[in-house]
Amino acid sequence: MKALKIISLAILASTSSISMAQVTIKTPDTVDILSVNAQEPEFESGGFFSSGKTTILPDGTNQIVFRFEPYFDVSRDERVSVPSKTIIARFDAKDVNLTLEVPKYLNERQAKKNIDSFTWTLKDENGQEIATQQDKLIKEGMQIGRDYSREAEDYNRKGGVAAIAAAGVVAATPVTLPASTNDFSGAANASTDSTAEEMLMFWYNKADADTKARFKEYVNKQ
């Protein structure tokens, strides 16, 4: 019971902290965020005249999938675009507003020449660049109807350079079964204790420094 009480308090504290702090990424209208952490992206609502979008992410390690597609007006009624390959990237950030910056091309010809090797950056409010690990999310064959979140999951399972761990996964600790049937109650207790410890460590590691300090203070008083 004591372990369950501690876990409940830890979960409440960490989830409360997570909901208050977040990371946002502002993107120009030439960038489409296609997936966040192998899930559908969540966007912040903007005004009618706002340019681009703002994507909301949790604190910590995040993965985004996006495509850069600059466009050019050929005439009053015609516009052409030059899509890039799909980019998958991983980065670490906490309680910060970021901006995804991409190059600006003068015309369609320049875009086609440079789009396959374009460089992009994530910068914070002070103009400091955030370190990223990036790769191209390649799909063989037809490109119509792509499921970018599923592709990101497959990419993560293969362990690419921009891969992240599956969200909410806690590694299980094997439990040795007793030799005697009379000892099953002890094995069940060991399994419960092991699971409780795994859950506790998982939520503790997701909490911020202040929450961890309050949690330690609570445990010391018990």
> What is the structure's pLDDT at 139?
85
Domain map (residue ranges) of the chain: 27-158
Helices marked H in 21-140 — which ranges?
108-114
CA distance 163 to 92: 12
Question: Which pLDDT does position 18 carry in this prediction?
Answer: 40
Q: Which two tokens stand for residue 67?
A: 């495509």
pLDDT in tens, 179-222: 444 444 454 455 445 556 656 666 666 566 667 777 777 777 76
Separation between Cα atoms, residue 162 and residue 104, nearest integer Å = 25
DSSP 110-165: HHHHHGGG---EEE-TTSPBPPEEEEE----S--TT--HHHHHHHHHHHT-TT--P
> What is the structure's pLDDT at 13?
47
CA gap 154, 165 in Å, rounded: 11
CA distance 114 to 103: 10
86 CB burial (10 A radius; 0-12, 13-18, 19+): buried
Question: In terms of pLDDT, which residue wins out, 142 or 20?
Answer: 142
What's this model's pTM, rounded to 2 decimal places? 0.65
- pLDDT digits over 75-111, tens only? 888 999 999 999 999 999 999 999 999 999 999 999 9
Q: How far apart are CA 64 and CA 127, in angstroms?
A: 20
